[in-house]
């Protein structure tokens, strides 16, 4: 239940169209639903504007099926991250309209359109190998109601490729910069623009990259201000955070 749905419910009670007992019945599952292996948070959409998002990795097929069925009862948009194609097929049996975004490894079910902010989010990668993490960020942001523009393979090995799109990047509300190796691209982008930068270190790189730790430390110790750093390979976290910034920019 989101703010609009709650407002409609309360208005029906006020206007005498809905009995208080019936309203109480609708609100009885307002908090969360106990599934035994999960507590599904129905209240999250009202608190945070977005419904609970499901992390598929580590969940069994039966657990994912049960969670999806419970969410479908509430007619909310559903986003399932880190989902294999096998798990997508399980979800599609319950909801034929489910869409699989293979590079992002996200399953989405859209029940209602979200209000779109005027601004857009720029998603930038250092290399082609960073695209899977970038797509997780980009698709997350799009499913949360944002326009996204992609600028891929513009890293420090050929920085002139970045300058070709810098004007369009500057006009975004927020930029997500994804880089592995030494993670330098986030610092360069932040030094060229005056909008918030969400930096995502990736595990892409040779041995001394330490599966993303080198890029993470480089981004955390970056010189330009205005950079927030999320966890290694956490495209979802970056897309969600950037979406919140873009939403606030509209106010």
pLDDT value of position 219: 96
- Domains in the chain, ordered, with CATH? 32-109 (no CATH), 120-249 (3.40.50.1970)
The pLDDT value recorded for residue 113 is 79
pLDDT of residue 96: 93
Contact 137, 230 (CB under 8 A): no
Find where tokens 């399980």 sit. 90
| Cα separation values, 43 from 47, 60, 175, 210, Å | 6, 24, 30, 39
Q: What per-residue confidence (pLDDT) applies to 32? A: 61
Q: Can you give the pLDDT at residue 72?
A: 85
pLDDT at 245: 93
Instruction: Count Cβ atoms within 10 A of the Cβ of residue 106 and give its class: 0-12 exposed, 13-18 middle, 19 or more buried.
Output: buried
pTM, to two decimals: 0.83
What integer pLDDT is reported at residue 101 of this predicted model?
A: 97
| pLDDT at 186 (0 to 100) | 95
pLDDT given for residue 74 in this prediction: 77
Task: For the chain, list residues with pLDDT below 50.
Answer: none
């Amino acid at each position: 239940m989101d703010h609009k749905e709650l407002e409609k419910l309360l208005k029906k009670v006020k206007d005498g169209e809905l009995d208080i007992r019936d309203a109480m019945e609708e609100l009885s599952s307002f908090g969360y639903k106990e599934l035994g292996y999960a507590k599904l948070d129905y209240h999250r959409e009202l608190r945070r504007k977005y419904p609970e998002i499901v992390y598929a990795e580590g969940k069994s097929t039966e657990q994912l099926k049960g969670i999806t069925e419970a969410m479908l009862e509430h007619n909310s948009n559903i986003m399932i991250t880190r989902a294999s194609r096998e798990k997508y097929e399980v979800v599609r049996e319950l909801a034929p309209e489910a869409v699989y975004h293979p590079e992002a490894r996200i399953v989405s079910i859209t029940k209602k359109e979200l209000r779109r902010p005027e601004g857009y989010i720029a998603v930038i990668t250092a290399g082609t190998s960073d695209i899977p993490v970038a797509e997780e960020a980009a698709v997350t942001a799009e499913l949360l109601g944002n326009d996204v523009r992609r600028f891929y393979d513009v890293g420090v090995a050929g920085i002139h490729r970045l300058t070709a799109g810098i004007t369009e990047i500057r006009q975004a509300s927020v930029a997500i910069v994804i880089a592995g190796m030494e993670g330098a691209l986030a610092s360069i982008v932040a030094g060229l623009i005056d909008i918030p930068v969400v930096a995502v270190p990736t595990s892409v790189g040779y041995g001394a990259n330490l599966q993303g730790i080198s890029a993470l430390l480089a981004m955390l110790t970056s010189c330009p201000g205005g950079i927030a750093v999320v966890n290694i390979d956490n495209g979802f976290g970056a897309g969600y955070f950037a979406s919140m910034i873009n939403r606030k920019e509209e106010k």
